[in-house]
Amino acid sequence: MDDLIAGLAAAFRLIVTADPELIEISIRSLQVTLTAVAIGCLLGLPLGAWLAVRRFRWRRGVIATLNALIGLPPVVVGLVVYLMLSRSGPFGVLGLLFTPTAMIIAQVIIVTPLVASIAHQAMRELWAEYHDLLISMNATKTQRILTLLIDGRRALLLAALAGFGRAIGEVGAIMIVGGNIDGATRVLTTAIALETGRGDFALALGLGIVLIVLSLLISGASHWAMRTERQGRW
Amino acid sequence: MIRAFILALLMPLAVQADTMRMAVTTSFNNSGLADVLLPAIEADTGLQVQLLVVGTGQALRLGAAGDVDAVLVHSRTAEEAFVAEGSGTHRREIMYNDFVVVGPVDDPAGASDAATAADALTRISETAAPFVSRGDDSGTHKAELRLWDSAGIAPEGDWYRPVGAGMGAALNTAAGMGAYVLSDRASWLNFGNKDGMAIAFQGDPVLFNQYAYLPVNPAKHDHVKAEAAARLEDWLVSPKAQALIDGYRIAGEQLFTFNAQR
């Protein structure tokens, strides 16, 4: 109980004093996660829509694989990316291990299946509705996918937010590929793991509260930007 | 404010010019000494040293793979093997601290009455008092295994719990279970969650813990920043480093003793 109260006090103190280290790692957290989610959406959203529109032989298999990949353990993703990027691995010459870029790569792999799968679910229902209309208008494949993406933007926002939620709270993969280097690859989640290891529960909890507040802010901001959940629209 | 924040978000992900990477043990970093040394290193040599905080086993693996430029660890046998296989150019002793046996305040095994470290461990195993082992192939773990070996005990059973975690996590676990654990003194003094725990045994010379600096061999990995690693080594054995290391205290106790040969 004491630890909880001390944690709240620590969070309050960190935010009110605008602790420079807190701001630095919060910005790095957002940089890494938002970049990863943006790339994940660029890959995942069209893939989801394409899977809804296109009929081909291995479609079922691809969708089933995609859904299974949602459960991909981040630690395993981290380990594989680590082995790939290590100096003695196949992409070692790039020198990317223990950089924010490596963390983004790992998070893109974690986020993309989730975004694609949620997008596919939403697009499939929308496609059932729009199918006859779009076919009768003789729309091309690209036009069909674009229509679905634009009209289904709220469901796609949900997909992006789910991806963001998975990425911002993730610690296993980025700890391995980033190395939690102070001033270079330390982000909120890895800092929390570190402070817990030091037995400084108050600071760890304080950072955790900052993390939760950040997630809420991003979610709120994106709803505001897409003008969803407002009077007269839903 | 918001604009500054967005600008900061859009800035390219930071890459510094004169940086090098060093893998260090959790005990070195958790002690807080790194927070004292790194700013001084940057001020004196212009080197920004990025620390990867891992166990000794993983630190040496990182060095062997060429993913770091130097390692600072504490497990002599493993270090000598590292140099022998050509992964490191040489081994330079920098400083030492010591290990302590930490346990519940009421000391159910009576470890504080022991004459030697081996005797203390024997008492713990005979009373089957819970003992948390790092179990992560770190320097502290290897030191613990050597101690069991010298006591002639093969630690196994319900009371012996390898957790496979860093020093801080192992101390947390031990505090939660009311178990004994072997810790380096620095991590213990810097540990925030000491609830009901105290040093049960200390002072035996076999608990001596030597830290050594090993630059990664540039002949094996040509991208290694050998020049930066050499500059860091020169600094680590300098009188300035000696003053900082010997002068570092927590709660009035000196943690590390500088013993590098110049």
- pLDDT digit string, tens, across residues B56-68: 888 999 999 999 9
User: Which residue among A87, A101, A196 places its CB closest to the CB of B223?
Assistant: A87
Angle between helices A20-53 and A188-197 (to 10 degrees): 130
Least confident of A165-179, B2-16, B173-187: B2-16
Q: How far does A148 lie from chain B, in Å, by closest CA?
A: 30
Instruction: Identify which has the larger pLDDT, A79 or B8.
Output: A79
pLDDT tens digits along B200-236: 999 888 898 899 999 999 999 989 999 999 999 999 9
Superfamily for domain range B2-96+208-258: Periplasmic binding protein-like II (3.40.190.10)
ipTM above 0.85, yes or no: no
**Taking residues A49-60, what's their average pLDDT?**
88
**Taking residues A20-25, what's their average pLDDT?**
89
CATH code: domain of residue A151: 1.10.3720.10
Domain holding A44, by residue range, is: 2-226
pLDDT band at B1 (very low <50, low <70, confident <90, very high): low
The predicted structure's pLDDT at residue B14: 43
| Whether residue A199 has pLDDT greater than 90 | no
Do the bridges between strand B92-104 and strand B257-258 make them parallel or antiparallel, or are there none, so unpaired?
Answer: antiparallel
Q: Report yes or no: B223 and A95 within 8 Å, Cβ to Cβ.
A: yes
Q: Do B194 and A199 touch (CB under 8 A)?
A: yes
How far apart, in whole angstroms, are the C-alpha atoms of residue B4 and residue A220?
20
The predicted structure's pLDDT at residue A229: 56
**Taking residues A166-189, what's their average pLDDT?**
92
Given 3-state DSSP classes, what are the helix, strand and coil percentages for chain A, each rounded to the nearest 5? 80, 0, 20
Q: How far does A42 lie from chain B, in Å, by closest CA?
A: 18
The predicted structure's pLDDT at residue B136: 87
| Whether residue A183 has pLDDT greater than 90 | no
Q: Report yes or no: B185 and B255 within 8 Å, Cβ to Cβ.
A: yes
**A88 in any annotated domain:** yes
**A234 in any annotated domain:** no
pLDDT tens digits along B102-139: 999 999 999 999 999 999 999 999 999 999 999 888 88
**A9 in any annotated domain:** yes
How far apart, in whole angstroms, are the C-alpha atoms of residue B78 and residue A176?
23
Kindly report the CA angle at A155 between A154 and A160, in degrees rounded to 5? 95
Every domain of chain B and the residues it spans:
2-96+208-258, 97-206
What's the number of domains chain A is made of? 1
The predicted structure's pLDDT at residue A34: 95
Give the DSSP letter of residue B133: E
Residue A199 near chain B (CB below 8 Å): yes
Name the nearest CA neighbour of A200 among A25, A19, A6: A6
Q: Give first-to-last CA distance, chain B, whole Å.
A: 51
The predicted structure's pLDDT at residue B13: 46
Residues A10, A14, A17, A21, Cα dihedral to 10°: 140
Burial (CB < 10 A; 0-12, 13-18, 19+), residue B198, is middle
How far apart, in whole angstroms, are the C-alpha atoms of residue B183 and residue B192?
14
Residues of A in contact with B9 (CB under 8 A): 27, 30-31, 34
How far apart, in whole angstroms, are the C-alpha atoms of residue B40 and residue B43?
5
Q: Do B66 and A183 touch (CB under 8 A)?
A: no
How far apart, in whole angstroms, are the C-alpha atoms of residue B54 and residue B26?
6
| Whether residue B86 has pLDDT greater than 90 | yes
Instruction: Identify which has the larger pLDDT, B91 or B17.
Output: B91
B129: which residues sit within 8 A by CB, 6+ positions away? B103, B108, B109, B159, B179, B180
In CATH terms, is domain B97-206 a member of 3.40.30.10?
no
A190: which residues sit within 8 A by CB, 6+ positions away? A171, A174, A175, A178, A180
Mean pLDDT over each residue of chain A, to the nearest integer? 89
Contacting A residues, span 29-88, partner chain B, CB-CB under 8 Å: 30-31, 34, 86-88
User: Which residue among B14, B19, B191 places its CB closest to the CB of A198?
Assistant: B191
Q: Which of A32, A176, A194, A198 to mutate to test the interface with B (most CBs of B within 10 A)?
A: A198
In chain B, the percentage of residues whose pLDDT exceeds 90 is 64
| Whether residue A228 has pLDDT greater than 70 | no
The predicted structure's pLDDT at residue B7: 52
| Whether residue B15 has pLDDT greater than 90 | no
How far apart, in whole angstroms, are the C-alpha atoms of residue A126 and residue B122?
71
B202: which residues sit within 8 A by CB, 6+ positions away? B98, B100, B101, B185
- pTM, two decimals, is 0.81
User: Which residue among B8, B15, B221 places its CB closest to the CB of A27?
Assistant: B8
| Whether residue A42 has pLDDT greater than 90 | yes
Name the nearest CA neighbour of B31 among B236, B239, B209, B173: B209
